[in-house]
Amino acid sequence: ATLEANLARIREQFAERPVPRPREWGGYRLSPNVLEFWQGRPYRLHDRLRYTRREDGSWMIERLSP
């Protein structure tokens, strides 16, 4: 509840202006075309999913294993 209240307060505070950043702030914007998620499970039955972005912006999901 406290986290949600803080978020609501900050959204209201910066509704009409950008959130200030430190002068030395830097960042990256990633736009991946392929993502793979791996979740380890016992007996090498690992769960692997690959998401591939289609030209229309949607994602195709493939189960690679098990």
Catalytic choice (29, 44, 54, 63) = 44
Using alpha carbons, select from 31, 32, 7 the residue that is nearest to residue 19. 7
Has 63 been annotated as catalytic?
A: no
> How many angstroms separate the CA atoms of 7 and 1, rounded?
10
Which 3 state secondary structure label does DSSP give 36?
Answer: strand
Q: Using alpha carbons only, how large is the chain's radius of gyration in Å?
A: 20
For the annotated catalytic residues, the residue numbers are 44
